[in-house]
Amino acid sequence: MQGTKRCDCVFYEGNDVYFVEFKLRAEDRDATDDRRIETRLTEAWEQLLTTVLLFEEQGFITRDHRISAYAYVGYGPIIPAPTTTILNLAEEFDNLIRFSADFDVKDSALF
């Protein structure tokens, strides 16, 4: 999988495994002019899926783990998240991996 894009980070907390990908809008880009929302969402989904599949293949996650995948794509109140797209991606995500997983899209992250 050399050269394959993977998600930004993975966290383990007991049996919970969290996969995270950040695709935030550049600060200098006006939110009302952002036409790349769907593209950022799709790219984040692909990277999360690739990473989860790799972890399954390598045995880093098993049936005992609860998997959550989060795409942080920088949606704001001006541009709502495309709900239909998110639901379709979540369903496809769950269908493509061996173990059950939750896929969610967030507009911000707090640390």
Where does residue 41 rank: exposed (0-12), middle (13-18), buried (19+ CB within 10 A)?
Answer: buried
In this structure, what are the phi and psi dihedrals at residue 16, rounded to the nearest 5 degrees? -90, 135
Q: Does some domain include residue 4?
A: no
Q: Does some domain include residue 43?
A: yes
pLDDT at 42: 86
Higher pLDDT, 111 or 36: 36
Mean pLDDT, all residues of the chain: 79
Range(s) of the domain holding residue 14? 9-27+34-106
The model scores a pTM over 0.85 = no
Q: Does some domain include residue 1?
A: no
Residue 76 has pLDDT above 60, yes or no: no
Compute the C-alpha angle 93/81/94, nearest 5°. Answer: 10
User: Residue 98 and residue 13: Cα distance in Å, rounded?
Assistant: 20
User: Residue 69 and residue 90: Cα distance in Å, rounded?
Assistant: 9
Element (DSSP H or E) covering residue 105: strand 101-106
Domain count, the chain: 1
Compute the C-alpha angle 21/24/25, nearest 5°. Answer: 160
Q: Does some domain include residue 97?
A: yes
pLDDT tens for 19-28 read 999 887 666 6
Assigned token pair, 48: 């999360």
Residue 78 has pLDDT above 60, yes or no: no
